[in-house]
Amino acid sequence: MKNKEQDIRAYFNKLDRSFFMDRFKEMASFDEAIPIGHEQTISQPSLVLEMTLALEPETDSRVLEIGTGSGFQTALLAEFASQVYTVERIEELYHRAKERLDESGFSNISFKLDDGSMGWEENAPYDRIMVTAAASAIPEELLNQLAFGGKMIIPVGSSFSQELKLIEKDENGKIHSTVLNQVRFVPLKGKYE
């Protein structure tokens, strides 16, 4: 794992965050969440890195990402997974992220414009699931779409207090939950607001 962690850190450090921003580019180097419009943000870089390391994408992982947003997190996942399926509910963000990621040369990303809280049933199960907005509870649909032996990172809680959780489904389908951090994400819109 050590080499994978070093590889992820190295790629993260050369990933130009400003490329994923249309406004406030001068703030790209700040370690904080920055607005990207539509009441959404590009996440704090250190948190994006922490979440990616905790998810531990493998070269053969099929990853579901809920909340494409700017595409910054998507790029990091796509570099280290075999396939990324990403869902965004805001049409303008969906199109901009797709443009950026296509321009970056990724050919292993599938995009969907939809309510991400329901996952993406057609391509399930997923080895890894990354949720980049806070749910009031862990969506049952996402748990069902997580493969045996799979991992999910998800912020859970109210708009004021959220726990970043690592959810693991063992080979018997039993769910294990670990709190990684206290965080503040925009709410996951849809069924689990």
- Just list the catalytic residues: 43
Q: How far is CA 182 from the centre of its chain?
A: 17
CA-to-CA separations, 139 to 31, 116, 129, 133, 189, in angstroms, rounded? 29, 10, 12, 12, 12
Cα–Cα dist 81/172, whole Å: 24
Closest by CA position to 153, among listed 61, 6, 86, 53: 53
Do the beta carbons of residue 131 and residue 125 sit within 8 Å? no
**Three-state secondary-structure class, residue 82:** coil
Cα–Cα dist 131/51, whole Å: 10
Closest by CA position to 125, among listed 142, 103, 108: 142
